Homo-oligomer: A and B are copies of this chain.
Amino acid sequence: MKWSSKITKVEPNHLVTKGYRQEDLIGNIPYPHVVYLLLKGELPSKEHGKMMDAILTACIDHGVTPPSSMASRVVASGGVPLPTAVAAGVLSIGDAHGGAIEKGAKFLQEGIARMKEEGKSIDEIAKILVTESRKQKKRILGFGHRVHTADPRTKKLFSLADELKISGDCIALSKAIEKELVGQTGKTLPINVDGAIAAISSDMGFDWRLGKGFFLLGRVAGLTAQVYEEQTEQKPMRKMFDVDCDYDGPDERDIP
């Protein structure tokens, strides 16, 4: 049974991660750059490092209501260790919660590949993609938010991407889709924070399969804070909700 791994070489008193001795990384390379190193294999340029830092911070927390916070707090309330409760929040990161980064990035990356293959412009491929998605009644992920119409995180991330000269085809396609959606539907579906990270991480050259990873790497900070607050400020098994739940199953009956 032979394993191989490109991540860390472990020897007594010697830890080498992606080629770098851990004692050299600690305190010398900012943690978000180390995250980049782990996910991409190389340390980032100054610009990419700063962008990665910004992406992590953009994911930290969205209050108590998202499935991840709620799952973490509810599980904490059962009286379990902190990591168990944080992990419960991480479990909720799925296709519908944070998942737009993964699927959005795939969509953009494939869109750009197709654009090049078919010799189209950004605007042309945006029009084609929106038209096709509407015909197939498929939602394009990364647009629209259940709370925000102008998400301050999105705006900030895009302005940083411009400033750091990271903005490329995927961000351009993302913005062209946003415009095309208004044109074709009359409704404004602004790029949300997931969509922004999908576009930016794609222009940074990341594999779309890491999409949910970016979200969870930032969000664990908020989840740890949520669990810590629940554990230190609240009683276990406190009554958390007034869920008004109608039972609409079979009428009461005797067993046969």
Contact = CB atoms under 8 A, between A and B. Distances in A.
A113 interface: no
Given A31-B56, A38-B221, A67-B74, A82 B213 contact: yes
Copies in the complex: 4
A204 interface: no
A187 interface: no
A114 interface: no
A255 B24 contact: yes
Contacts of A184: none
A239 B22 contact: no
A27 B245 CA distance: 28
A75 B53 contact: no
B255 A25 contact: yes
Contact of A225 (B38, B83, B216, B236): B38
15 contacts: A3-B240, A5-B246, A5-B248, A8-B63, A8-B222, A8-B249, A14-B152, A22-B57, A24-B255, A67-B78, A70-B240, A82-B212, A86-B90, A210-B224, A213-B228
